[in-house]
A and B are shown apart, each in its own frame.
Chain A
């Protein structure tokens, strides 16, 4: 094997190594962002969901409060979206879609309740992920 061939193999190995290090660093960064920020965002989302379920009781008298709470929940959802895996991202998109449907439809208490249920399912999904991550470390 000539020096040129050894050089080529070394370059390829170097490239592979760089990609592996890049992927590992990205994984570590995601892990820390997830561990540090997601619990806080999840707490916020849980509180917004709780308020939505309360306002739903007095649906017709709580339109403004509901809209405010939904927009706060949307902000949290969008922030969460940047910190989770692709699979969870699609669950978040699903919730955001339900929020949009609520605004675009007749905005009745039934569609609001659908938003609430979807948020609760999402919270549980992310909590399960948090548990998984503890074991992956």
Chain B
């Protein structure tokens, strides 16, 4: 499993590189879900596969007293909000097909995607060119 997980991490880092090099183009989309609050969502198509990346916050409910007493290590108040990022394959109707396991490299992928979609480089070039 660890080797497989490593492969997913490597795949995500590869996506970061492709995004930074502009070989993978992302666009911003609207994603409405009732179970989570989506902060931003992006889609891309690469080698005939569509992928969606989104950042969201979700509510974490208190576990049942039995589970809480034995296993829970969280000592704060419930419910609380947790931020996460998901990368998934989607079909032609933008329905989720499969989600990548969470890896911290997704944070960097999201940053690279936001940087590309916001056209930061183009903006900086424009600003520098202005006299």
A53: chain B residues at CB < 8 Å are: 13, 16, 20, 108, 112
Find A120's partner among B9, B17, B71, B112 (CB 8 Å cutoff): B9
Contact A124:B71 (CB < 8 A) given known A53-B16, A56-B20, A117-B10 = no
Q: By the criterion CB–CB under 8 Å, are A127 and B104 in contact?
A: yes
Residues 88-120 of A, flagged 1 when their CB comes within 8 A of B and 0 if not, give 000000000000000000000000010011001
**B2 at the A/B interface (Cβ < 8 Å)?**
yes
Residues 7-24 of A, flagged 1 when their CB comes within 8 A of B and 0 if not, give 000000000000000000
Q: Which residue of B lies closest to A52 (CB)?
A: B108
Among B6, B9, B71, B104, residue most surrounded by chain A Cβ atoms (within 10 Å):
B104
B71: chain A residues at CB < 8 Å are: 134-135
Distance of B123 from chain A, by nearest CB (Å):
15
Main secondary structure of the interface of A (DSSP, over half): helix
A49: chain B residues at CB < 8 Å are: 104, 108
Q: By the criterion CB–CB under 8 Å, are A57 and B104 in contact?
A: no
Q: By the criterion CB–CB under 8 Å, are A120 and B103 in contact?
A: yes
Q: By the criterion CB–CB under 8 Å, are A50 and B20 in contact?
A: no
Q: Which residue of A lies closest to B10 (CB)?
A: A117
A26: chain B residues at CB < 8 Å are: none
Q: By the criterion CB–CB under 8 Å, are B2 and A120 in contact?
A: no
Q: In the complex the two chains form, what is the Cα distance from A118 to B12 in whole Å?
A: 12
Distance of A30 from chain B, by nearest CB (Å):
17
A127: chain B residues at CB < 8 Å are: 104
A135: chain B residues at CB < 8 Å are: 71
**B105 at the A/B interface (Cβ < 8 Å)?**
yes
Q: Which residues of B, 74-115, contact A by the 8 Å Cβ criterion?
A: 103-105, 107-108, 111-112
**A137 at the A/B interface (Cβ < 8 Å)?**
yes
Distance of B67 from chain A, by nearest CB (Å):
12
B17: chain A residues at CB < 8 Å are: 113
Q: In the complex the two chains form, what is the Cα distance from A123 to B105 in whole Å?
A: 9
Q: By the criterion CB–CB under 8 Å, are B111 and A50 in contact?
A: yes
Q: By the criterion CB–CB under 8 Å, are A117 and B111 in contact?
A: no
**A40 at the A/B interface (Cβ < 8 Å)?**
no
**A75 at the A/B interface (Cβ < 8 Å)?**
no
**A65 at the A/B interface (Cβ < 8 Å)?**
no
Q: Which residue of B lies closest to A53 (CB)?
A: B108
**A25 at the A/B interface (Cβ < 8 Å)?**
no
Residues 1-42 of B, flagged 1 when their CB comes within 8 A of A and 0 if not, give 010011001101100110010000000000000000000000
Residues of A within 8 A of B (CB): 46, 49-50, 53-54, 56-57, 113, 116-117, 120-121, 123-125, 127-128, 134-135, 137
